[in-house]
Amino acid sequence: MIVQIEGGRLLVRSDAALHILERLGGAWRIFAIAGRIRPRPLRDTAYDGIARIRKRLFPAPKEACPLLPRHLRERFEA
């Protein structure tokens, strides 16, 4: 995940996720603050682990459009 914030600065991986949680406010902001006290390498390792299993944690809805195979994608304008 990559987030560009004001001033053009780019946040990646766990920094981007924590920024989004902070912007959501409420209890999410508390999670963001708690997450920031962890060292970045530890946060990024946890982020990568969740990224690997995210489709098992949050499966795509059945109504979602499937991705087209490469040979069919070429038929459509980009």
In a domain, 75, yes or no: no
**pLDDT value of position 20:** 95
Domain-located, residue 48 = yes
Domain that holds residue 23: 2-61
pTM strictly above 0.75: no
Please tell me the predicted confidence (pLDDT) of residue 3: 94
> What span, in angstroms and rounded, lies between the C-alpha atoms of 55 and 67?
15
Residue 78 included in any domain: no
Q: Do 1 and 12 touch, CB atoms closer than 8 A?
A: yes
Q: Tens-digit pLDDT profile for the chain (78 aa)?
A: 899 999 999 999 999 999 999 999 999 999 999 999 999 999 999 999 999 998 898 888 888 777 778 788 778 765
Overall number of domains in the chain: 1
* 20-33 exposure pattern, b = at least 16 Cβ within 10 A, e = fewer: ebbeeeeeeeeebe
Q: For the CA atoms of the chain, what is the radius of gyration?
A: 17
Query: Is 49 a member of any domain?
Result: yes
Identify the pLDDT of residue 76.
76
Question: 12: helix, coil or strand?
Answer: strand
In a domain, 29, yes or no: yes
Instruction: Specify if 70 maps to a domain.
Output: no
Q: Is residue 19 part of a domain?
A: yes
SS3 label, residue 60: coil
